[in-house]
């Protein structure tokens, strides 16, 4: 359309559209971080065709669906760049335990999931996760799980976007490695690039502290068979990370990944807390990405003097850094807005004020999360040509009055309950708080039934006032033995070698 035609009110484009939102505050998160005070977003065939200041004709256009955006803030759907979803029904179960109770309880549970014993709980977990992340404005997740097929189907059917993969580790549990890779292959074959491309498979070596070099080499072989898949892992999270890398015959974790051929632009590394200058440089050169998960580490950190994730340095070096809520049921949160706030609080506490501008955090919640997952050219900002993943927040309330410094309001003040409409690929999944693609009551019933059964089977008492896990003795009897025993043995041996340099 020529500027003259626009002035004359040529409505052809909006009249032919599937969806038009007008008179909203539009936070585009484009290259210039442009915000329209009175903006219009036009969608056709699942794609954004126009994002601009509202014109008179927008209000009376003949688009299939016209949403009056007055009192709303429109922004790209949020990206949860690293998470685990299948134990979502256990929200509240872990948050008051001590670290030892939590990790031993989790290890035991994961052992059972891998054996397929808690399918009723994990399937209900994917339902609950999809429902709560959808209603909270999260349109894309990147989830590493034990049995991801339920997640792929639930998120696919709910109309959401998701990356899912099967966790692989040979020192964390006792499942034979051949069986783990067979499951991972099966999942990729069945689910990669399904649901109109919204669901994609990933390859998930669990981490750099519970995998042997052999497992990394097998992972690299699988990755070579599937060159279009991301490789999603936990990296440089714990002090044990580099210790295990040395035990695996490398200088450090990145060296090990480089050795086996996995340090490249397909790598999405969660945490990266212990990265030093050389790690940052190598990551930037490899064009690998990082998912920063501040809440989980702040919650379970055992040592106040730990190094904190060098996110500003990573971003300055050109590394794409998204935000992840990680095991959200360990810290009882569905809020990706909260994750942005926590990123700032943790960084400022450790390093003093001003570690991020609010807009940088908005970018990490959206476009940089998308870039980290390799789909920054498809989603993450509101620009013509991108897929229409759009959320509307109700900002017509006292908590958002006055509506100044919108990036700060989004990162410090917004909450999942402020999201009223969610659109993915141009499809309206929730409108005015009403979820269209899931039966919220059925999900709740299913979750309640699953948790009742889990309590009966495990003696875990999830009461109104507390969470009372089975005794440590019972849990210890239940945890996998062979894998973890090797894991601890290898780490202890390597620590002695490091100390005495042999
Ligand atoms: Zn994780």
DSSP collapsed to 3 states, 3-39: HHHHHHCCCHHHHCCCEEEEEEEEECCCCCCCEEEEE
**Ligand 1 centroid – CA 331 distance (Å):** 13
Q: Indicate whether 91 and 239 sit together in one domain.
A: yes
Q: Is residue 455 part of a domain?
A: no
Q: Yes or no: say if 148 and 83 are a contact pair by the CB < 8 Å rule.
A: no
**Ligand 1 centroid – CA 282 distance (Å):** 22
Q: Indicate whether 58 and 192 sit together in one domain.
A: no
CATH classification of the domain holding 131: 3.20.20.140
**Ligand 1 centroid – CA 326 distance (Å):** 5
Q: Yes or no: say if 138 and 424 are a contact pair by the CB < 8 Å rule.
A: no
Q: Is residue 231 part of a domain?
A: yes
Q: Indicate whether 120 and 25 sit together in one domain.
A: no
The pair of three-digit structure tokens given for residue 351, joined into one six-digit string: 């390093």
Q: Is residue 68 part of a domain?
A: yes
End of a domain among 344, 372, 400? 372
**Ligand 1 centroid – CA 107 distance (Å):** 14
Q: Is residue 205 part of a domain?
A: yes
**Ligand 1 centroid – CA 98 distance (Å):** 19
**Ligand 1 centroid – CA 148 distance (Å):** 14
**Ligand 1 centroid – CA 325 distance (Å):** 8
Q: Is residue 493 part of a domain?
A: no
**Ligand 1 centroid – CA 324 distance (Å):** 8
**Ligand 1 centroid – CA 258 distance (Å):** 22
**Ligand 1 centroid – CA 328 distance (Å):** 9
Q: Domain range spanning residue 41?
A: 3-76+389-435
Structural domains of the chain, count: 2
End of a domain among 420, 435, 450? 435
pLDDT (tens digit, 0 to 9) for every residue of the chain, 502 residues total? Answer: 444 444 445 577 899 999 999 999 999 999 999 999 999 999 999 999 999 999 999 999 999 999 999 999 999 999 999 999 999 999 999 999 888 888 888 887 888 888 888 999 999 999 999 999 999 999 999 999 999 999 999 999 999 999 999 999 998 888 899 999 999 999 999 999 999 999 999 999 999 999 999 999 999 999 999 999 999 999 999 889 999 999 999 999 999 999 999 999 999 999 999 999 999 999 999 999 999 999 999 998 878 888 999 999 999 999 999 999 999 999 999 999 999 999 999 999 999 999 999 999 999 999 999 999 999 999 999 999 999 999 999 999 999 999 999 999 999 999 999 999 999 999 999 999 999 999 999 999 999 999 999 999 888 888 898 888 887 666 666 666 666 777 888 888 888 888 777 6
How far is the C-alpha of 31 from the C-alpha of 392, rounded, in Å?
21
**Ligand 1 centroid – CA 121 distance (Å):** 19
**Ligand 1 centroid – CA 471 distance (Å):** 26
CB burial string 16-29: b at 16+ within 10 A, e below? ebbbbbbbbbbbbb
**Ligand 1 centroid – CA 206 distance (Å):** 8
CATH classification of the domain holding 19: 2.30.40.10
**Ligand 1 centroid – CA 231 distance (Å):** 14
Please state the φ and ψ torsions of residue 399, each to the nearest 5 degrees. Answer: -65, -25
Q: Indicate whether 62 and 172 sit together in one domain.
A: no
Q: Yes or no: say if 320 and 372 are a contact pair by the CB < 8 Å rule.
A: yes
How far is the C-alpha of 232 from the C-alpha of 255, rounded, in Å?
17
How far is the C-alpha of 369 from the C-alpha of 389, rounded, in Å?
13
**Ligand 1 centroid – CA 85 distance (Å):** 10
Q: Indicate whether 88 and 70 sit together in one domain.
A: no
**Ligand 1 centroid – CA 327 distance (Å):** 6
Q: Is residue 480 part of a domain?
A: no
Q: Indicate whether 307 and 173 sit together in one domain.
A: yes
The pair of three-digit structure tokens given for residue 83, joined into one six-digit string: 């998470």
291's enclosing H/E stretch is strand 289-292
Q: Indicate whether 232 and 315 sit together in one domain.
A: yes
Q: Indicate whether 48 and 189 sit together in one domain.
A: no
Q: Indicate whether 223 and 88 sit together in one domain.
A: yes
Q: Is residue 330 part of a domain?
A: yes
The pair of three-digit structure tokens given for residue 492, joined into one six-digit string: 């202890």
Beta bridge partners, 467, equal 462
**Ligand 1 centroid – CA 208 distance (Å):** 12
Q: Yes or no: say if 289 and 370 are a contact pair by the CB < 8 Å rule.
A: no
- Look up the pTM and report it: 0.95
**Ligand 1 centroid – CA 224 distance (Å):** 24
**Ligand 1 centroid – CA 460 distance (Å):** 23
3-state secondary structure of 422: strand
**Ligand 1 centroid – CA 270 distance (Å):** 7
Please state the φ and ψ torsions of residue 27, each to the nearest 5 degrees. Answer: -95, 105
Q: Indicate whether 431 and 355 sit together in one domain.
A: no
Q: Is residue 500 part of a domain?
A: no
**Ligand 1 centroid – CA 114 distance (Å):** 17
Q: Indicate whether 223 and 331 sit together in one domain.
A: yes
Q: Indicate whether 264 and 175 sit together in one domain.
A: yes
């Amino acid at each position: 359309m020529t500027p003259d035609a626009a002035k004359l009110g040529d409505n052809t484009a909006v009249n032919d559209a599937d969806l038009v939102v007008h008179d909203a505050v539009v936070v585009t998160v484009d290259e210039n971080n442009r915000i329209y005070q009175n903006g219009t977003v036009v969608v056709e065939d699942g794609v954004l065709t126009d994002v601009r200041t509202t014109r008179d004709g927008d209000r009376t256009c003949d688009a299939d669906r016209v949403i009056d955006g007055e009192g709303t803030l429109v922004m790209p759907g949020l990206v949860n760049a690293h998470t685990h979803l299948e134990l979502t029904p256990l929200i509240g179960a872990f948050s008051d335990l001590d670290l030892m109770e939590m990790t031993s309880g989790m290890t035991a549970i994961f052992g059972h999931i891998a054996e397929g014993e808690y399918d009723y709980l994990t399937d209900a977990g994917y339902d609950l996760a999809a429902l709560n992340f959808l209603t909270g404005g999260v349109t894309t997740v990147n989830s590493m799980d034990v049995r991801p097929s339920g997640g792929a189907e639930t998120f696919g059917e709910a109309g959401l976007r998701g990356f899912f993969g099967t966790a692989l580790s040979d020192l964390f549990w006792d499942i034979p490695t051949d069986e783990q890779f067979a499951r991972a292959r099966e999942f990729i074959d069945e689910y990669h690039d399904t649901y109109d491309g919204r669901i994609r498979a990933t390859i998930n070596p669990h981490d750099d502290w519970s995998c042997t070099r052999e497992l990394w080499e097998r992972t690299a072989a699988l990755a070579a068979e599937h060159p279009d898949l991301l490789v999603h892992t936990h990296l440089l999270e714990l002090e044990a990370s580099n210790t295990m890398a040395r035990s695996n015959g490398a200088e450090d974790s990145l060296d090990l990944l480089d050795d086996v051929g996995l340090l490249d632009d397909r790598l999405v590394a969660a945490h990266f807390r212990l990265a030093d200058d050389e790690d940052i440089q190598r990551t930037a050169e490899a064009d690998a990405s990082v998912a920063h998960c501040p809440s989980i580490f702040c919650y379970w950190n055992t040592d106040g003097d730990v190094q904190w994730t060098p996110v500003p340095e990573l971003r300055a070096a050109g590394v794409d850094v998204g935000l992840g809520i990680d095991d959200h049921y360990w810290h009882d949160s569905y809020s990706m807005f909260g994750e942005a706030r926590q990123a700032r609080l943790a960084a400022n506490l450790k390093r003093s004020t001003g570690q991020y501008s609010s807009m940088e955090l908005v970018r990490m919640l959206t476009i940089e999360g998308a870039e980290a997952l390799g789909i920054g050219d498809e989603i993450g900002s509101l620009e013509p040509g991108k897929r229409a993943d759009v959320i509307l927040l109700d900002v017509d309330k006292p908590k958002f009055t006055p509506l100044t410094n919108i990036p700060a309001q989004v990162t410090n003040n917004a909450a999942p309950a402020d999201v009223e409409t969610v659109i993915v690929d141009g499809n309206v999944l929730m409108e005015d708080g009403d979820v269209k693609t899931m039966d919220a009551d059925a999900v709740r019933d299913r979750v309640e039934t699953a948790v009742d059964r889990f309590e009966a089977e495990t003696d875990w008492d999830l009461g109104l006032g507390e969470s009372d896990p089975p005794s440590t003795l019972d849990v210890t009897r239940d945890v996998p033995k062979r894998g973890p025993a090797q894991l601890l043995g290898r780490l202890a041996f390597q620590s002695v070698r490091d100390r005495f340099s042999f």
